[in-house]
Structure formats: C-alpha cells, structure tokens
Amino acid sequence: MEKLNGNKKLRVSVFISGRGTNLKSLINFSKNKSSTIKISLVISNNKKAKGLVFAKKNKIRFLIINYNNKKVAENKILLYLNKNKIDLICLAGFMKILTKRVLNRYKNKILNIHPSLLPKYKGLNTHKRVIVNKEKFTGCTVHLVNTKLDSGKIILQKKIRIFKKDNAKTLEKRVLKIENQLYPKAVKKFLFANF
C-alpha cells in the first residue's frame, strides 16, 4: 500500500451480504481519532442485508448491486469504486466471488475475513466441519484476496480453543466476536507493514 501523506485518510469500501458485524467494527475503528481510514462506500449484493443499517446510521454512502448478471454487476462496482476514489476494499461476509477484472484493478488492495484458521477450512460451513473433525482449535483469518478462494497472503489470525460443549452455533458466535476485534487490527497492520 502506498504511504499516506499528511492528514489524508485512505478511502475504504466495505462489501457485505448480511448481518454486517464486521462492517460495524470497521466503522467504529474508522471513527478513532488516530485512524487513517475512512469508510467511504458500503456495497451489498443483498438489498435486505441487515448490515446496511450501520451504513445508514453513520451516513455512509451505500450501493446495492443486483447480481443477476455478474459482468453488469462488476461494471457497476468498478464504476462506483472509481467514482468514490476507493483505495482499499474490505470484504466482510460478502458472499460473491470477484472476478479477475476487479482483482486486477485492486491488486493487493482487497482484504477478506474468513472464519477459520486458514489454510484450513477454506470455503463455506467452516464451523460445522471443524466440529465434525473434532478440532481442538479454530479461529479467524484476515488475508489478501487473490484468484484462488481463501488463499491469499495471511495478514493476521486469531486462534481460540474449542470446548467439549461447543457446537457449530456456539463456535460461530465465539469466532464472530474475535473476528470483530481482528479485522481493524489487521487493517492497521496491513497499512503499516509492507505486504
């Protein structure tokens, strides 16, 4: 990421599909006096995404993208990222896969949060699979997005122990809590380290 000059804040777009707790934590982080990011645009592929309420509450511009046609959807995404001079994209529960067109335009400038200790448990239903496999630990990962699913360079991870009484639901809840803490820390690390 290029160095920031003066008081200029990095313009971030957060992509969501649902609940938006990670969006909320990134918005809270951006409000810190010392924060160097501004959440300038929220993009959702789902007009009913609960997380949109955080954009509205905080008067952040948001855009709902109809994904019936992926090419048209991505054209619109690229247009609005450009219009809003977005420097960095944070995927936060965005359940669509971006094609090379977007990935190349924002090369090494797209982060994602995933609810497992990558490279283990890429893809969906991570908590269920972790329980079935009787893992002792799980966690979450913030990583750079590349063309392979959940495989880009890891920025930061947090590990938690799995208890005997845990099931997929309790695990989801416990992991989400640490996700919300990890994402801002990972953004901070990404901005100040050389990736």
**For ligand GAR, which residue of 4, 144, 176, 191 counts as binding (CB under 6 A)?**
176
Q: Find, among 87, 118, 121, the residue nearest to 190 by Cα.
A: 87
What Å distances lie between residue 32 and 26, 36, 37, 38, 63, CA to CA? 10, 9, 9, 10, 24
Of 74 and 179, which has the nearer Cβ to ligand GAR? 179
Identified binder of ligand GAR from the candidate list 103, 115, 162, 166, rule CB under 6 A: 115
Which region, judged by CB under 6 A, interacts with ligand GAR, from 5-13, 29-37, 78-86, 108-116?
Answer: 108-116
Is 152 one of the binding residues for ligand GAR (CB under 6 A)? Answer: no
- Total chain residues near ligand GAR (CB under 6 A): 14
Widest CA span of the chain, in angstroms? Answer: 51
Q: Determine, following the binding rule CB under 6 A, whether residue 30 of this chain makes contact with ligand GAR.
A: no
For residue 14, what is the enclosing H or E element? strand 10-16
Scan residues 74-103 and list those touching ligand GAR (CB under 6 A).
Answer: 92-93
Q: Which of 4, 9, 11, 19 binds ligand GAR (CB under 6 A)?
A: 19
Residue number of the CB closest to ligand GAR reads: 93
By C-beta, is 23 or 73 nearer to ligand GAR? Answer: 23
20 binds ligand GAR, rule: CB under 6 A:
yes
**Helix (H/G/I), strand (E/B), else coil: 121:** coil
d(C-alpha 41, C-alpha 11), whole Å: 8
Point out the catalytic residue in the list 18, 65, 102, 114.
114
Tokens 């995933």 correspond to 114
Residue 143: active-site member: no
User: Which region among 57-65, 113-121, 131-139, 187-195 touches ligand GAR (by CB under 6 A)?
Assistant: 113-121
CB 43 within 8 A of CB 16: yes
Strand ranges in 80-169 using DSSP code E only, listed in sequence order: 88-91, 110-114, 137-144, 154-161
For β-strands 88-91 and 137-144, DSSP reports them as unpaired
Q: Which residues bind ligand GAR (CB under 6 A)?
A: 16, 18-22, 51, 92-93, 113-115, 176, 179
